[in-house]
């Protein structure tokens, strides 16, 4: 295909602003899918993604469009992941395109996630077409949002396109704008092959499928290619495009987006952002921006039922097949036995993996407190990257501890600004910027990641009644006065509940933890002390009083069935509990106890 007739674009939108719905309409208008085959959110293929309304893998669809001028065009839509945890994947998808549709809900306005992605698109030299969606809603105010796009993002929005992705109004104008306002890709057919590895996933029938954007040269079945970062060579078995049904093609040329398969065993062998070249081509300048995936948040996963460890191991292996950014290593905990220390791109990623293990593999798990990576500088001059609070060396051996900081951008309506500022201050934040756009404030804070990983996002939503939006990027490490806060239940340390906290916040956190655990641990036949300690020093204590009587003792008389019912009910409750010394702690305790109120 002649590059002048190709347009590659992505859709940028804050969650729920209508990205998937618009994609569905574009696919329908171009006749890529028959009405019978049309399902909502055709690009979001995984169940969990569909339920949560997020996309994890970049997805693509090739559309044939005949413009009003009679010319035929090939449009490639790349649907990018929509969450900050997947910012790197988003940046590579954007690098595969020349332009973006910026979809903003005309009844809501610009949100933090929109900003982050639009700046990435601008960094990738994208031409941006603003689209005002949901104009069918009575609350839609296209003029206000157009002005807001100019004020907040700083791009010209005078010819923003008003549409309703739901009813289809205005969508044909979007197609014309793609053809006339976005630039065609450049590229040279006669040069040696150079392609960008945009994303990859595991398909049970095809094996690993690799999504690519051809920069120069051509890609054909049978060709031998080399992945520059690993030097691995593969022979291409199938080269094709997604419409969104997979279709094989003879070749992919410059400017085209498509996929290949090549008997690649696992997704981890293909790295997003890598450069693909001819096998023999040894002196290439790799495409800019490549970065290996890196875990930011770590947590322990342990089976509730220790006997199911092997099943958990199998589940981990299967998930890893399809998710190179999820890592795991075996771990043993004094309290929880055998399990895994897992690394994630962020909290949402953690939640997704946890949910999949429970749902798809049916293994109930206990998740320990998520932790960031600390840099521990020891007195003997050595350094340690600490992923697990339980591994923190003795305080006397430590010179200093450094923790990661992020820069957070929060957009919030005026009314809730006070509560948001308070939340950030409570989490050791340092305000960097506070500006207004209309009745909305944009605040930029530097925050320690450790104060954000657990429940910051939930808290932010609750103090702003859901109106605040949040986005962040890592900015680096900084020394902090950090200590290990341990929890003892009935005088036994529960390592899975240990965490690293700032000294100034340790006592308060300890108190909250003890109070929470007192609520969450059922009463036993004996009294149970619950304590929080820094080193040997107890900083908080609660006491769970003993049960006065056997629960069945009130069923005197001959009511056997009632007694049995009561015992069954207890057994049910026990299913998701773990024994710690003489005490049973329910699964929820591990997550709930760490949430701060």
136 is in an annotated binding site: yes
Residue 164 within binding range of ligand GDP, rule CB under 6 A: yes
In the complex, what is the shortest distance from the CB of residue 163 to ligand GDP, in angstroms, rounded to a whole number? 7
Pair 9, 178: CB distance under 8 Å: yes
Tokens of 153: 């993002």
Q: Which is nearer to Mg ion, 17 or 226 (CB)?
A: 17
DSSP one-letter string for 515-551: HHHHHHSPP-SS-EEEEEEETTEEEEEEEEPPPSS-G
Alpha carbon distance 115, 122 (integer Å): 10
Residue 133 within binding range of ligand GDP, rule CB under 6 A: yes
388 is in an annotated binding site: no
Strand partners, 213: 196, 257
Residue 53 within binding range of ligand GDP, rule CB under 6 A: yes
CB burial of residue 243 (10 Å; 0-12, 13-18, 19+): middle
φ and ψ at 503, to 5 degrees?
-55, -40
Residue 333 within binding range of ligand GDP, rule CB under 6 A: no
Residue 271 site contact among Mg ion, ligand GDP, none (CB < 5 to 8 Å, cut-off depends on kind) = none
60 is in an annotated binding site: no
Residue 587 site contact among ligand GDP, Mg ion, none (CB < 5 to 8 Å, cut-off depends on kind) = none
Residue 136 within binding range of ligand GDP, rule CB under 6 A: yes
20 is in an annotated binding site: yes
**By C-alpha distance, which of 407, 391, 343, 423 is closest to 500?**
391
Site for ligand GDP in 558-577 (CB under 6 A): none
3-state secondary structure of 89: helix
In the complex, what is the shortest distance from the CB of residue 360 to ligand GDP, in angstroms, rounded to a whole number? 23
Tokens of 115: 């900003």
Q: Which is nearer to ligand GDP, 50 or 354 (CB)?
A: 50
Q: Which of 8, 10, 21, 275 binds ligand GDP (CB under 6 A)?
A: 21
The region of 130-138, 187-195, 242-250, 303-311 touching ligand GDP under the rule CB under 6 A is 130-138
Q: Which is nearer to Mg ion, 113 or 490 (CB)?
A: 113
Pair 516, 542: CB distance under 8 Å: no
524 is in an annotated binding site: no
DSSP state of 390: G
Q: Which is nearer to ligand GDP, 22 or 365 (CB)?
A: 22
Site for ligand GDP in 198-217 (CB under 6 A): none
Q: Which of 1, 137, 206, 475 binds ligand GDP (CB under 6 A)?
A: 137
Tokens of 464: 């702003």
Q: Which of 15, 48, 122, 444 binds ligand GDP (CB under 6 A)?
A: 15
Q: Which is nearer to ligand GDP, 50 or 524 (CB)?
A: 50
Alpha carbon distance 118, 112 (integer Å): 10
**By C-alpha distance, which of 504, 383, 395, 384 is closest to 451?**
504
Residue 18 within binding range of ligand GDP, rule CB under 6 A: yes
How many residues bind ligand GDP (CB under 6 A)? The answer is 16
Pairing of strands 257-261, 207-216: antiparallel
91 is in an annotated binding site: no
Residue 164 site contact among ligand GDP, Mg ion, none (CB < 5 to 8 Å, cut-off depends on kind) = ligand GDP
Q: Which is nearer to Mg ion, 20 or 450 (CB)?
A: 20
Provide the b/e sequence for 252-281 (b: ≥16 CB within 10 Å): bbbbbbbbbbbebebbbebbbbbbbbbeee
Residue 166 within binding range of ligand GDP, rule CB under 6 A: yes
250 is in an annotated binding site: no
305 is in an annotated binding site: no
Q: Which is nearer to ligand GDP, 97 or 102 (CB)?
A: 102
Pair 565, 558: CB distance under 8 Å: no
Alpha carbon distance 358, 536 (integer Å): 37
Q: Which is nearer to Mg ion, 19 or 459 (CB)?
A: 19
φ and ψ at 31, to 5 degrees?
65, 25
Q: Which is nearer to ligand GDP, 41 or 229 (CB)?
A: 41
171-181 and 19-29 are packed helices; what angle lies between their axes, rounded to 10 degrees?
80
Pair 302, 265: CB distance under 8 Å: no
Residue 515 site contact among Mg ion, ligand GDP, none (CB < 5 to 8 Å, cut-off depends on kind) = none
Pair 215, 196: CB distance under 8 Å: yes
**By C-alpha distance, which of 67, 58, 43 is closest to 92?**
58
Residue 321 within binding range of ligand GDP, rule CB under 6 A: no
Residue 20 within binding range of Mg ion, rule CB under 5 A: yes
Residue 17 within binding range of ligand GDP, rule CB under 6 A: yes
Residue 52 within binding range of ligand GDP, rule CB under 6 A: no
- Using the Cα atoms of residue 585, residue 355, residue 343 and residue 364 in order, give the sign of their dihedral: positive
Residue 146 site contact among ligand GDP, Mg ion, none (CB < 5 to 8 Å, cut-off depends on kind) = none
Alpha carbon distance 432, 453 (integer Å): 20
Q: Which is nearer to ligand GDP, 20 or 117 (CB)?
A: 20
In the complex, what is the shortest distance from the CB of residue 169 to ligand GDP, in angstroms, rounded to a whole number? 8
In the complex, what is the shortest distance from the CB of residue 41 to ligand GDP, in angstroms, rounded to a whole number? 6
DSSP state of 155: S
DSSP state of 373: P
133 is in an annotated binding site: yes
19 is in an annotated binding site: yes
Residue ranges at the known binding site for GTP: 16-21, 133-136
Interface positions with Mg ion (CB under 5 A) = 19-20
Residue ranges at the known binding site: 16-21, 133-136
Interface positions with ligand GDP (CB under 6 A) = 13, 15-21, 53, 133-134, 136-137, 164-166
């Amino acid at each position: 295909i002649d590059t002048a007739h190709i347009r590659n674009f992505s859709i940028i939108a804050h969650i729920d602003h209508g990205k998937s719905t618009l994609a569905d309409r574009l696919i329908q208008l171009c006749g890529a899918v028959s009405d019978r085959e049309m399902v909502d959110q055709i690009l979001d293929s995984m169940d969990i993604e569909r339920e949560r309304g997020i996309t994890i893998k970049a997805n693509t669809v090739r559309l044939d469009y005949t413009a009003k001028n009679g010319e035929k065009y090939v449009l490639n839509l790349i649907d990018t992941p929509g969450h900050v945890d997947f910012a790197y994947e988003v940046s590579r998808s954007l690098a595969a395109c020349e332009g973006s549709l910026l979809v903003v809900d005309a009844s809501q306005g610009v949100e933090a996630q929109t900003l982050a992605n639009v700046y990435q698109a601008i960094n990738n030299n994208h031409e941006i077409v603003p689209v005002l969606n949901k104009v069918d809603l009575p609350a839609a105010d296209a003029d206000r949002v157009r002005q807001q796009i100019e004020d907040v993002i700083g791009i010209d929005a005078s010819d923003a396109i008003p549409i309703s992705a739901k009813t289809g109004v205005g969508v044909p104008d979007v197609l014309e704008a793609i053809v006339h306002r976005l630039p065609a890709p450049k590229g040279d057919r006669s040069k040696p092959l150079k392609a960008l590895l945009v994303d990859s996933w595991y398909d049970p029938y095809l094996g690993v499928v690799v999504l690519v954007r051809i920069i120069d040269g051509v890609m054909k079945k049978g060709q031998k290619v080399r992945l520059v970062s690993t030097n691995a060579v593969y022979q291409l078995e199938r080269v094709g495009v997604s419409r969104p049904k997979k279709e094989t093609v003879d070749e992919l040329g410059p400017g085209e987006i498509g996929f290949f398969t090549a008997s690649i065993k696992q997704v981890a062998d293909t790295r997003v952002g890598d450069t693909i070249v001819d096998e023999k081509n040894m002196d290439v300048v790799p495409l800019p921006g490549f970065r290996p995936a890196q875990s930011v948040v770590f947590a322990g996963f342990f089976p509730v039922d220790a006997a199911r460890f092997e099943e958990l191991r199998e589940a981990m292996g299967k998930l890893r097949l399809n998710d190179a950014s999820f890592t795991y290593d075996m771990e043993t905990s004094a309290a929880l036995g055998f399990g895994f220390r897992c690394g994630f791109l962020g909290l949402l990623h953690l939640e997704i993996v946890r949910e999949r293990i429970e749902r798809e593999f049916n293994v109930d798990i206990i998740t320990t407190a998520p932790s960031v990576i600390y840099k521990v500088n020891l007195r003997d001059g050595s350094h340690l990257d600490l992923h697990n609070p339980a591994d923190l060396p003795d305080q006397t051996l430590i010179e200093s501890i450094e923790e990661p900081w992020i820069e957070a951008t929060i957009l919030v309506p005026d009314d809730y600004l006070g509560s948001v500022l308070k939340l950030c201050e409570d989490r050791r934040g340092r305000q960097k910027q506070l500006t207004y756009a209309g009745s909305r404030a944009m605040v930029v804070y530097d925050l320690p990641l450790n104060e954000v990983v657990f429940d910051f996002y939930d808290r932010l939503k609750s103090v702003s009644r859901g109106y605040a939006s949040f986005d962040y990027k890592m900015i680096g490490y900084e020394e902090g006065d950090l200590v290990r806060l341990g929890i003892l239940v009935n005088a036994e340390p529960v390592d899975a509940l240990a965490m690293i906290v700032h000294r100034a916040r340790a006592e308060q956190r300890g108190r909250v933890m003890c109070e929470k655990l007192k609520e969450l641990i059922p009463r036993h036949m004996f009294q149970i002390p619950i304590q929080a300690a820094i080193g040997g020093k107890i900083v908080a204590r609660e006491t769970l009083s003993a049960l006065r009587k056997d629960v069945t003792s009130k069923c005197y008389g001959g009511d056997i069935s009632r007694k049995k019912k009561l015992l069954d009910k207890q057994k049910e409750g026990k299913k998701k509990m773990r024994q710690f010394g003489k005490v049973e702690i329910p699964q929820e305790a591990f997550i709930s106890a760490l949430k701060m109120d």
